[in-house]
Structure 1
Amino acid sequence: MDNSLIDLTRNVLDVASQKVSAIEDINRTTKMLAFNALIEAGRAGDAGRGFAVVANEVNSISRQVSVVASELRSEIGQLVDRMATVGEDLMVRFRGQRLADLALNMIEIIDRNLYERSCDVRWWATDKAVVDCIAAPTPDATVFASSRLGVILDSYTVYLDLWVADRSGRVIATGRPRRFPHAVGTNVANEPWFRQALATKDGADFAVVDVTTNPALDGRTVATYSTAVRRDGAVDGDVIGAMGIFFDWEPQARAVTTGVRLDHSEEAHTRCLLVDAAGRVIASSDGRGQLTETFPLETGGKPMGHYVDKYGRLVGFALTPGYETYRGLGWYGVIVQSGEKSH
């Protein structure tokens, strides 16, 4: 992206100013010639009267040319200033819309990714080993369930762990008991993902909570999806427990925010963010502020748009549109561009 339109406008002003200056130079020479002619006509007496008339007329025309040249310089300057302002506005709008489109693409990639996570949890909660280990939590049943979850994790590397909790909220099986030994036995009865899982209306429903850290998973940042485990794995079966799956958020989200297709010249002064409904930064292309920074997004009530903030930065944003059965959590894709490119 460059400033060719604005540069062209400035070039027009430069060329016009040069030509007006040339006219003024010629006019000054004309005035001088008319002045000299009047002097010579005076010396010639009666014989020079006719020549004096012509010299006076030339002098009059010269004064008119001076007025026109002055007005032309002023009017061209005003017009070029207006053209430059319009050009800058167009460039900001063009860039802003482009940033908003990139922000939408960024949040849509996340939506589609997380939709798949919602499908995963609803599917795995019906696995016979998972259902049986809650219905009859014998040591053999829980060990077998853990091994089944481990097989899933071997294929789905985007997850940190998968947990199965009984109706009381006690975790009885996990997919990585060696990596996260403190997970089994953890009481999650007060965790939002567990409570929301128990409240799902049927086996087609699921719960998702905002990105947070999980102490039992070494404090890693996760996006958690959950659903109820139902008797016999039936869609309308009685709730006997819950399953929670922990999406390894940071590397996946970082890949999305750093994968935005920016021009090379933009990269140094552009920041790509994912923010939650409260404006909390949950991912950033520069690795700063995750879960600690609140971005003051000014949407004006619009789901998508752009604006120049009080710091002169150009901000493009887009609200999560959701995907299929995943409605989203009010997250936004945000791209902030500072420096000379933002105007």
Structure 2
Amino acid sequence: MADAVLKLAYEVSRVTEEKVGLIDGVMRRTGVLALNARLEAARAGDAGSAFSVVAQEMSVVAGDIRSIARELRDAVATNIDMLKRAGSEMQFEFRGERLADLARNAVEIIDRNLYERSCDVRWWATDAAMLEALAAPGPETAARAQERLATILRSYTVYLDLWIADSDGKVIAHGRPDIYRGVIGTDVSQMEWFNRGMAAHSGDDFAVCDITTNPFLGGAAVASYSTAIRAGGRNDGMRLGAMGIFFDWAPQAAAIVQGVGLSGDEREMCRVMLLGADHRVLAASDGRGLLNERFQLDTGARERGWYREGNRIIAFARTPGYETYQGLGWYGCIQSAIDPAWGDGGA
């Protein structure tokens, strides 16, 4: 709609200028003819006096029409400028709202994905093999737990690894010993995921940590989820240890920011991002700044919106959470260059 308004404004302006120019030309010719007529009437003397009056009147009419044409040009130009500005503002409003909707969609998709991770960790923490490995520790029970974790990983390819740690924070089993060597026996007692998982009030509770790199998993970026493994798998059972699951963040997040529903032209103009609550870049469609850039986002205390900053539009939306997963205050954010054809948008 905004594009149509701008195109109409430019076309009306072009046609008006063209037609007023033609009127101007005709009136100049009329003025010349009137002048010639007066000269010829003067030569004719008394016989041409009546025609001289007509010629004079023609000159006055031509002048009046030229004056009206100038006023028309000025009036149309003023209104066309207003129409162009209104169309430009509509273009900015439409684009800003669209990008804000797409930003919200991106953060909603990742939160729905991560909600499933919170379900996974609570479910797997009640698995019989995990319970036995902690309730009756030993090589055999640890091996069974490890085999079970490996089986889970073959089906759930979004994880890098799954760990079981005892109540002292020592890893006793994990799902990929062939890839990540040296994990068994690792002391995780000072790691956030372990401490928050052990502090879960019941089997219904879980902990989620912001995106970090895990040195034991090749330095990969992970979203870590954890919960306590409880005696008998009971909701209120004694804490025997903790389960930590490590979501393979980079490829999953990249698929989301690169899959946002932009047109081909829009994609070239836009940078799509997932930002942490502190505006740290967690994912970006251009692959830049991951985990080390803080994007200068000015939300104005709004949950969703857009604003213009120089030659860019910045659109954003804060996570609404999903089901029992409230999210970590992340934002979907899209930075778009401004198409010069939109005008100044009232700036």
Q: Normalised by the shorter chain, which TM-score bucket?
A: over 0.9
Question: Contact (CA 8 Å) 1:213, 1:222: kept in 2 or not?
Answer: yes
Task: Find the counterpart in structure 1 of residue 54 from structure 2.
Answer: 54
Please tell me whether residue 329 in structure 1 is matched to residue 328 in structure 2: yes
Q: Matches of 1:293 and 1:260 in 2, distance apart?
A: 21
Please tell me whether residue 141 in structure 1 is matched to residue 150 in structure 2: no
Task: Find the counterpart in structure 2 of residue 314 from structure 1.
Answer: 313
Question: Contact (CA 8 Å) 2:5, 2:83: kept in 1 or not?
Answer: no
Task: Find the counterpart in structure 1 of residue 100 from structure 2.
Answer: 100
Q: Matches of 2:2 and 2:139 in 1, distance apart?
A: 67
Task: Find the counterpart in structure 2 of residue 112 from structure 1.
Answer: 112
Q: Matches of 1:197 and 1:239 in 2, distance apart?
A: 10
Task: Find the counterpart in structure 1 of residue 63 from structure 2.
Answer: 63
Q: For 1:155-174, list aligned pairs within 5 A.
A: 155-174=155-174
Q: 191-200 or 218-227, which moves further after superposition?
A: 191-200
1:138–1:342: structure 2 CA closer, same or farther, 3 Å change rule? farther
> CA RMSD for the aligned pairs?
1.6
Question: Contact (CA 8 Å) 1:92, 1:342: kept in 2 or not?
Answer: no
Please tell me whether residue 297 in structure 1 is matched to residue 304 in structure 2: no
Tell me the secondary structure at the aligned position of residue 210 of structure 1.
coil
Q: What is the CA distance between 1:341 and its match in structure 2?
A: 6.9
Task: Find the counterpart in structure 2 of residue 197 from structure 1.
Answer: 197
Q: What is the CA distance between 1:342 and its match in structure 2?
A: 8.6
Q: Matches of 2:181 and 2:137 in 1, distance apart?
A: 18
Q: What is the CA distance between 1:161 and its match in structure 2?
A: 0.3
Q: 34-43 or 207-216, which moves further after superposition?
A: 34-43
Gapped regions of structure 1 (runs ≥ 5) = none
Q: What is the CA distance between 1:104 and its match in structure 2?
A: 1.5
Post-superposition CA distance 1:215-263 (Å, at most 9, x none): 0001011011111111211101122211110000111111111111211
Q: What is the CA distance between 1:8 and its match in structure 2?
A: 2.4
Q: What is the letter of the counterpart of residue 45 of structure 2?
A: G
Post-superposition CA distance 1:64-119 (Å, at most 9, x none): 11211111111111111111111111111111111111111111111111010000
Tell me the secondary structure at the aligned position of residue 328 of structure 1.
coil
Q: Percent identity?
A: 50
State the TM-score, normalizing by the size of structure 1. 0.95
Q: What is the CA distance between 1:316 and its match in structure 2?
A: 2.0
Task: Find the counterpart in structure 1 of residue 345 from structure 2.
Answer: none
Q: What is the letter of the counterpart of residue 200 of structure 1?
A: A
Q: Matches of 2:38 and 2:190 in 1, distance apart?
A: 104
Aligned residue-pair number: 342
Q: What is the CA distance between 1:163 and its match in structure 2?
A: 0.7
Q: What is the letter of the counterpart of residue 214 of structure 1?
A: N
Task: Find the counterpart in structure 1 of residue 89 from structure 2.
Answer: 89
State the TM-score, normalizing by the size of structure 2. 0.94
Q: What is the letter of the counterpart of residue 322 of structure 1?
A: G
